Structure 1
């Protein structure tokens, strides 16, 4: 079935599927980006309850999830940076304390890496397609010359 499709139909189908994929990604990104569930709710046994005020108080996110510095990770000065290498800063409303908690991932970093990957795959696809079409033209010309030689020799 795919062999019977013309080049124009194939390009239209690929463009349609690519557009549909982008639409789904945009819609999913808008629905899932603001849920605030990117933190790990595991409490370290070594930390005191005053650093875990976010578990039993209302809190406000001062700084969104971001990567820890290399110094914080290697020196272990900030304990929440060791397991996941990401932290977010919170301000507890009742006690007024500003604490850090670990989080799974940085949303903007994950999105940037995804789009870099998609862009790279697009570029590789365009280059591959160009090579395939170029090689097909070369092979078609060779076959045409061979047929012309055979016809000229009278075979």
Structure 2
């Protein structure tokens, strides 16, 4: 079945599957909920007097702690997860809590992986075409040699 497909049909099929994959990733990233919205699974700095299940507003999104904050342990939550976010509770207190992942760093890693995979695919595709041409030329030379020998 797949052997009967032309190169144009194969390229079209692969392009459609790639486009569908990108569409699914975009839709999924917009529809999934963040796990950092759950206030019960968080680590809040020690000097906080607010109960963690109150209403809050995120002032600063999750971002990596600096090397100084990790080494000096000036912010206690940086020693735990290496990422922090600043939140403000409705009662007025502003606290720092740890978070597991930074969304934009994870997304950047994902796109780096996708770019590397695409570059490898292009490189291997070029090498396959190159090898195919070399083998085709060898067969043509062999047939020409046989024709010369028989004549």
TM over 0.5: yes
Aligned 1:1-155 pairs, distance under 5 A: 1-32=1-32, 35-38=33-36, 41-43=41-43, 47=46, 50=49, 53=50, 55-94=52-91, 96-154=92-150
Gapped regions of structure 1 (runs ≥ 5): none
How many residue pairs match? The answer is 149
Gapped regions of structure 2 (runs ≥ 5): none
CA contact (8 A) 2:43 2:97 kept: no
Which range moved further: 35-44 or 14-23?
A: 35-44
Q: Per the alignment, in what secondary structure is the counterpart of residue 144 of structure 1?
A: helix
Question: What TM-score do you get using the length of structure 2 for normalisation?
Answer: 0.89
Question: What TM-score do you get using the length of structure 1 for normalisation?
Answer: 0.87
Q: CA deviation at 1:38?
A: 2.5
Give, in whole Å, the separation in 2 of the partners of 1:86 and 1:151.
Answer: 73
Give, in whole Å, the separation in 2 of the partners of 1:2 and 1:98.
Answer: 61
Q: Per the alignment, in what secondary structure is the counterpart of residue 56 of structure 1?
A: coil
CA-based RMSD of the aligned residues comes to: 2.0
Change (3 A) 1:125 1:20: same
Q: Per the alignment, in what secondary structure is the counterpart of residue 35 of structure 2?
A: coil
